[in-house]
Structure 1
Amino acid sequence: MPRADRASQFMPFAALKGFEEALAAKEKIIVPKVELSEDALEYLDFQINKLRVGDRVTVVYYEDDAYVKKTGMVTKINPQAGYLTVVTTDIGFEDIRDIQF
């Protein structure tokens, strides 16, 4: 038997296709989105209005059933569409929980 054929008989084998992905999906913890109080919303609005392109910020926002923290430079602010861009990530105003300068 050639050496290449002998090595292939010891290659990993997935008997159940998609099983690893299903396990990973089951392990994911879903975090519900927090509804902010009126005071928190006003303060967040104040912080968003203070933002300028080029500011270095840390934003905590809701994405894919979890809260994510992104630190970087603000590259775009679009108040009409309701989002800001930190580096290359677009973040909707309604998903933001906290902004730190």
Structure 2
Amino acid sequence: MSGKYDDIINMPHHVSTRHRPMSQGDRAAQFSPFSALTGYEAALSESARVTDERIELDEQEQQRLDEKLNRLRGCAKERPMVCITHFVPDERKQGGAYVTEQVCVRRVDAYARTVCITGGGSIAFGDIIGIEGDIFQEKY
């Protein structure tokens, strides 16, 4: 067999006397994927995330919601449990998401136009698109 590397094919593997051998982990890191743009994957997933647009209620739906809010204001001392569907704006993008929460109503503030819930939170009237609960079963 007369080949290009016949003179070195049977020689022992060279081990340096100056440098320590590289660990397997370090050697594997040389071949790991390279991300030239730090944060690019996060930005890509953020731009692909879908948000909802705010729903504008028509006049009839708004009137029905106002009636429910008035009923809720009258019953607020009883601290009723209701399910409120409301808009939560997205912190990073235009739009947001609609969330349905079961909450205990502390009071309805007509001046600030908010529903105050136990635990210190509040929901603005303009963000609410639906309210359901046992207190509405009689009339609605």
Q: Which bracket does the TM-score occupy, shorter chain normalised?
A: 0.7 to 0.9
Structure 1 runs (4+) deviating above 4 angstroms are none
Return 5+ residue gaps in structure 1 as ranges.
1-5
Q: Cα offset for 1:23?
A: 3.7
- Specify every segment of 5 or more residues in structure 2 that has no aligned partner in the other structure, as ranges: 1-24, 30-34, 90-95, 134-140
Give the number of the structure with larger relative contact order, counting CA–CA contacts within 8 Å between residues 6 or more apart.
Answer: 1
Cα 1:86–1:27 shift into 2, 3 Å: farther
Is structure 2 residue 99 aligned with structure 1 residue 68? yes
Question: Considering only aligned residues, what root-mean-square deviation do their CA atoms show, in Å?
Answer: 2.6
Secondary structure of 2:54's counterpart equals: coil
Q: Distance in 2 between matches of 1:89 and 1:23?
A: 33
Identity fraction in percent = 26
Indicate whether 1:57 and 2:82 are aligned: yes
Tell me by how many angstroms 1:99 deviates.
0.2
Query: What is the aligned partner in structure 2 of residue 29 from structure 1?
Result: 50
**1:33 shift after superposition:** 1.1
Q: What is the TM-score when the length of structure 1 is the normalising length?
A: 0.75
Find the structure with the greater CA-based Rg: 2
Retained in 2: the 8 A contact 1:70–1:86? Answer: no
Following TM superposition, by how much is the alpha carbon of 1:24 offset from its aligned partner in structure 2, in angstroms? 4.1
Structure-2 separation of matches of 1:97 and 1:28:
23
Distance, in Å, in 2 between the alignment partners of 1:76 and 1:20 is 44
Alignment of 1:42-53 (within 5 A): 42-51=63-72, 52-53=76-77
Corresponding residue for residue 96 of structure 1: 128
Instruction: Report how far residue 32 of structure 1 moved.
Output: 1.0
If each structure's strand is expressed as a fraction of its own residues, which one has the higher value? 1
